Structure 1
Amino acid sequence: MNIKSLSTRVFAPLFFTLFSSTAMAGYPVNINSADAVELADALDGIGQSKAEAIVAYRDANGPFNSVEALTAVRGIGVATVEKNVEYILLEPAKPMSE
């Protein structure tokens, strides 16, 4: 085994793990104003369809008043909320200008 094949076998998986979208999840996001793409990128265990469900729920029911209120969204459970609690911001959504 030469150095090139060894480095490819060792570093390539590490590189892809570090820079995959799953590894990049976990940064603060305002759930009352973020769009579905931002939610999916920021929150662990939230893919595009769950992020769209969060936005749809928010549009239909108004802003979230607590982090735990996310569990009212179909497909979002307590475990998902708990692993993201440090990244979920609850700032009020900015009103649309008239």
Structure 2
Amino acid sequence: MFKKILACMAMLAAASCFAAVDANKASVAELDDVKGVGPAMSQRIVDARKQGEFKSWDDFMARVKGVKTKSAERLSSNGLTINGQAFKTAAAPAATAPSAAPSKAAKPAASSTAK
């Protein structure tokens, strides 16, 4: 019985280490615990949050100095969320520009009529 309780406590402790930290709700200390967020960035996040909650990752990147796409990806992978959402990169738009060299059109097949 004691071993089961101890095992459950160990699993809860491990799960809490990987818990997500929401930028809209976390304290400076909680933000500082996220790998890649230091004391200065923690304070910038809290200061920007005084203007209102972050609506999205785009809003977060626009309002917190020093956070761009690459750092947002890294922070998200380390457990930072905005409204419970991880950072999602935008899909690259498909290239629809015509090619520089015109392609050779296939010659139509000669029609043969068998009689």
Q: Give the number of the structure whose alpha-carbon radius of gyration is greater.
A: 2
Equivalent in the alignment of 1:64: 54
Q: Runs (4+) of structure 1 moved beyond 6 Å?
A: none
Gaps of 5+ in 1: 1-24, 93-98
TM-score, normalization by structure 2? 0.49
Equivalent in the alignment of 2:22: 30
Cα RMSD, aligned residues only: 2.3
Shift of 1:26: 6.3
TM-score, normalization by structure 1? 0.56
Report if aligned partners of 1:36, 1:51 keep a CA contact under 8 Å in 2: yes
Report if aligned partners of 2:55, 2:83 keep a CA contact under 8 Å in 1: no
Report if aligned partners of 1:29, 1:89 keep a CA contact under 8 Å in 2: yes
Report if aligned partners of 1:50, 1:76 keep a CA contact under 8 Å in 2: no
Q: Which has the higher helix share?
A: 1
> Is 1:90 paired with 2:44?
no
Shift of 1:49: 0.5
Shift of 1:84: 2.2
Q: 1:26 to 1:50 in 2, by over 3 A?
A: farther
Q: 1:32 to 1:59 in 2, by over 3 A?
A: same
Equivalent in the alignment of 2:40: 49
CA deviations 1:65-89 (Å, max 9, x no partner) are 1123221211222211111224233
Indicate the percent of aligned positions where both proteins have the same amino acid: 27
